[in-house]
């Protein structure tokens, strides 16, 4: 703590939350890790940094990126060659690290910070893997992080639903899991499908009864979405729809939006769920239909899961789809595992090829979704790292969205049938800087309930990024002139200059602890740990001295949801 202000003078502040849209010149004062109101004339100004008209945004937030936990570690083990190929040399600031699409924990923090990202959210934390996930996130420097607990294929919930559990019992269970696993949201992955796979089923439709429990994905989906809404958890249910990657899955995606019937929900990696069956190859883009359904549904936000050409690895709790894709593994090795009574985990290495029709069309479908969904507050930039490609490709992706001629040049290079089967070439929209600031900062902050992040109002966490206004937006977003985390400079011209530790962001809705009377015998009969050992104490996150806990306030009836 110091009593002096840091002054960022003369930047063009791009913050569409109302403080300075349109990029007007504005001075920013930082103090004690927060954005400060302009101080009185006699205040002590410590450092003054002249921004000379450069563009200033809040730190960027990645709402969905697989950065820690069991599957990330298995992915690293599966591909040791990727760590030889993408080694980063140690220097005096860094612990060494390596990897591109399965980066080490250190490299994850460094690369995000160098690009101006100051928070990232691990979307697929199995509750039984929560302790491992937090230990790994504790090893990611600089950025803030949080996790979504995966529910909806856990035997406790399925068994209780089959036995006729009330909504309020489910609410208590969901809240208990959020507390016990130190999560900030809940993700449902292929509702019921992962469990059905364990009963030898290969596909599960929205209204198809689970082979053992007899309940439908629709019931699981709406019960969980209702629970989060009832509990006032700001981030609504994070939904990975059924039938990921299957041609024709656009129908279940649209049915899922309809089933939610106005309940808030976030549909993740939407690109993998927007496929039709038209044409000779029975694989087509349904991006226009899906975008239209999203445009009509103000309760729905999405992230895209854009694919990027090249080698990566797909990592998912959706073992039903990962087992189906295992024949496509490149290189030819893969992992599928069952995890306790929680769900599963599948790793399939994959190379997206720009000359392959299916991959090239997937690329176009992702871009169509970005460009056809009208409201940038409800569509966020992701590659579903590493599933569609590494998060380090975000600057390239931003250029594709902001620069139509660049986009069309890239379209002309890929499998030529795609231009004929996609409307991408005819879409004129180019994202503005304000829209990029919304989709990478203000939008994700709002949908996660992060009231003091994603904007630059006084009181916000001083996560600030300064860019040179370069016509090549890829170069601009790859190497910001300055990145400040909690008011401290951490990167300059795309190179790390300092390191440190961010916060773990959690949510803690109220609930009736009587739910433990049901959970305790369940743990004793079915799980490898007892209930008391399963719960992660605050001290386990705080004791290592690597950043604090930040608790997102729950919503009350008077709060504006979105
Ligand atoms: Zn997913
Ligand atoms: Zn994902």
Ligand nearest to the CA of 150: 1
Q: Omega into 331 within 30° of 0, i.e. cis?
A: yes
Cα-to-centroid distance, 514 and ligand 1 (Å):
32
Is residue 222 helix, strand or coil?
helix
Ligand nearest to the CA of 65: 2
Residue range 454-477: mean pLDDT, rounded: 98
Cα-to-centroid distance, 68 and ligand 2 (Å):
12
Cα angle vertex 177, ends 174, 180, to 5°?
A: 150
Ligand nearest to the CA of 122: 2
- Residues near ion ligand 1 (CB < 5 Å) are 240
Cα-to-centroid distance, 518 and ligand 2 (Å):
31
Cα-to-centroid distance, 304 and ligand 2 (Å):
10
Is the pLDDT at 94 greater than 80? The verdict is no
Ligand nearest to the CA of 241: 1
Cα-to-centroid distance, 3 and ligand 2 (Å):
42
Q: Which residue has the higher pLDDT, 81 or 183?
A: 183
Buried b (16+ CB within 10 A) or exposed e, 204-242: bbbebebebbebbbbbbbbbbbbbbbebbbbbbbbbbbb
Is the pLDDT at 23 greater than 70? The verdict is no
Cα-to-centroid distance, 478 and ligand 2 (Å):
23
Q: Give the pLDDT band of residue 24 (cuts 50, 70, 90).
A: confident
Residue range 531-558: mean pLDDT, rounded: 90
CB 235 within 8 A of CB 507: yes
Distance CA(531)–CA(552), nearest Å, equals: 25
Distance CA(337)–CA(104), nearest Å, equals: 22
Distance CA(461)–CA(453), nearest Å, equals: 6
CB 206 within 8 A of CB 284: no
Cα-to-centroid distance, 517 and ligand 1 (Å):
32
Distance CA(317)–CA(334), nearest Å, equals: 14
Cα-to-centroid distance, 67 and ligand 1 (Å):
13
CB 53 within 8 A of CB 26: no
Residue range 13-39: mean pLDDT, rounded: 86
pLDDT of residue 285: 98
Is the pLDDT at 562 greater than 50? The verdict is no
Cα-to-centroid distance, 366 and ligand 1 (Å):
15
CB 523 within 8 A of CB 529: yes
Cα-to-centroid distance, 19 and ligand 1 (Å):
34
Closest CA to 174 of 152, 155, 195, 194: 152
Cα-to-centroid distance, 189 and ligand 2 (Å):
9
Cα-to-centroid distance, 439 and ligand 1 (Å):
19
- Residues near ion ligand 2 (CB < 5 Å) are 384
In SS3 terms, 9-52 reads as EEEEECECCCCECCCCEEEEEEECCEEECCCCCCCCEEEEEECC
Mean pLDDT is lowest, of 101-115, 160-174, 337-351, 546-560, for 546-560
Identify the H or E element spanning 221: helix 217-231
Cα-to-centroid distance, 165 and ligand 2 (Å):
29
Ligand nearest to the CA of 66: 2
Q: Report domain extents, the chain.
A: 241-309+353-450
Cα-to-centroid distance, 460 and ligand 1 (Å):
30
Cα-to-centroid distance, 307 and ligand 1 (Å):
14
Cα-to-centroid distance, 480 and ligand 2 (Å):
27
Q: Omega into 386 within 30° of 0, i.e. cis?
A: yes
- Percent above pLDDT 90 for the chain: 90
Identify the H or E element spanning 80: helix 80-85
CB 430 within 8 A of CB 402: yes
pLDDT of residue 93: 55
Chain centroid to Cα 383, Å, comes to 9
pLDDT of residue 103: 94
Q: Give the pLDDT band of residue 91 (cuts 50, 70, 90).
A: low
Ligand nearest to the CA of 123: 2
- Percent above pLDDT 70 for the chain: 96
Cα-to-centroid distance, 115 and ligand 2 (Å):
21
Residue range 194-218: mean pLDDT, rounded: 97
Ligand nearest to the CA of 321: 1
Ligand nearest to the CA of 67: 2
Cα-to-centroid distance, 243 and ligand 1 (Å):
11
CB 381 within 8 A of CB 397: yes
Closest CA to 245 of 324, 169, 308: 324
Bridge partners of residue 349, in order along the sequence: 313
CB 460 within 8 A of CB 35: yes
Q: What are the pLDDT digits (tens) for 100-152?
A: 999 999 999 999 999 999 999 999 999 999 999 999 999 999 999 999 999 99
Residue range 188-194: mean pLDDT, rounded: 98
In SS3 terms, 174-200 reads as HHHHHHHHCCCEEEEECCCHHHHHHCC
Is the pLDDT at 561 greater than 70? The verdict is no
Q: What are the pLDDT digits (tens) for 347-389?
A: 999 999 999 999 999 999 999 999 999 999 999 999 999 999 9
Cα-to-centroid distance, 117 and ligand 1 (Å):
21
Cα-to-centroid distance, 269 and ligand 2 (Å):
7
CB 243 within 8 A of CB 196: no
Strand residues in 280-401 grouped as ranges (E): 284-285, 300-303, 310-316, 335-339, 343-352, 379-380
């Amino acid at each position: 703590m110091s009593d002096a202000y840091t002054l960022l003078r003369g930047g063009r502040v791009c913050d569409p939350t109302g403080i300075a849209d349109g990029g007007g010149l504005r001075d920013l004062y930082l103090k004690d890790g927060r954005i400060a109101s302009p101080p009185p004339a006699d205040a002590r100004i410590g450092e003054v940094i002249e921004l000379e008209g450069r563009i200033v945004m809040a730190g960027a937030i990645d709402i969905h990126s697989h950065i820690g936990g069991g599957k990330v570690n298995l992915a690293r083990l599966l591909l040791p060659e990727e760590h030889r190929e993408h080694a980063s040399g140690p220097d005096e600031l860094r612990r060494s690290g390596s990897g591109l699409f399965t980066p080490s924990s250190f490299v994850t923090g460094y690369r995000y910070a160098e690009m101006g990202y100051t928070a990232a959210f691990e979307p697929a934390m199995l509750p039984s893997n929560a302790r491992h996930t937090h230990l790994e996130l504790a090893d990611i420097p600089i950025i803030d992080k949080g996790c979504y607990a995966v529910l909806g294929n856990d035997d406790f919930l399925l068994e209780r639903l089959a036995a006729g559990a009330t909504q309020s019992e489910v609410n208590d269970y969901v809240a208990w899991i959020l507390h016990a696993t130190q999560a900030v949201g809940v993700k449902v992955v292929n509702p019921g499908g992962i469990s059905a796979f364990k009963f030898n089923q290969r596909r599960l439709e929205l209204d198809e009864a689970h082979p053992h429990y007899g309940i439908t994905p629709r019931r699981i989906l709406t019960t969980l979405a209702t629970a989060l809404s009832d509990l006032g958890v700001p981030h609504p249910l994070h939904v990975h729809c059924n039938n990921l990657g299957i041609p024709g899955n656009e129908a279940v995606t649209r049915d899922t939006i309809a089933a939610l019937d106005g309940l808030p929900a976030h549909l993740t990696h939407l690109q993998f769920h927007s496929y039709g069956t038209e044409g000779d190859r029975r694989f087509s883009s349904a991006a226009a239909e899906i975008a239209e359904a999203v445009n009509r549904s103000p309760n729905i936000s999405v992230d895209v899961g854009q694919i990027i050409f090249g080698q990566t690895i797909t990592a998912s709790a959706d073992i039903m789809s990962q087992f189906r894709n295992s024949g496509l593994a490149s290189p030819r090795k893969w992992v599928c595992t069952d995890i306790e009574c929680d769900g599963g985990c599948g790793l399939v290495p994959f190379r997206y090829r720009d000359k392959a029709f299916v991959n090239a069309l997937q690329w176009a479908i992702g871009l169509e979704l970005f460009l056809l969904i009208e409201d940038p507050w409800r569509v966020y930039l992701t590659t579903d790292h590493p599933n569609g490609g590494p998060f380090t490709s975000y600057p390239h992706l931003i250029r594709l969205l902001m620069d139509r001629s660049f986009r069309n040049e890239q379209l002309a290079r890929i499998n030529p049938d795609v231009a004929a089967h996609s409307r991408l070439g005819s879409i004129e929209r180019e994202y503005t800087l304000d829209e990029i600031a919304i989709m990478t900062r203000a939008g994700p902050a709002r949908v996660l309930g992060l009231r003091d992040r994603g904007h630059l109002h006084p009181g916000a966490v001083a996560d600030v990024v300064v860019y040179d206004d370069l016509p090549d937006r890829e170069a601009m977003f790859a190497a910001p002139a300055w990145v400040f985390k909690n008011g401290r400079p951490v990167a300059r011209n795309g190179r790390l200059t300092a390191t440190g530790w961010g916060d773990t962001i959690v949510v803690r809705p109220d609930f009736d602890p009587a739910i433990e009377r049901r959970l305790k015998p369940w743990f004793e009969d079915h799980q490898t740990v007892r209930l008391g050992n399963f719960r992660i104490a605050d001290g386990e996150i705080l004791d290592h001295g690597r950043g604090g806990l930040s608790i997102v306030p729950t919503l009350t009836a008077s709060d504006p949801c979105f």
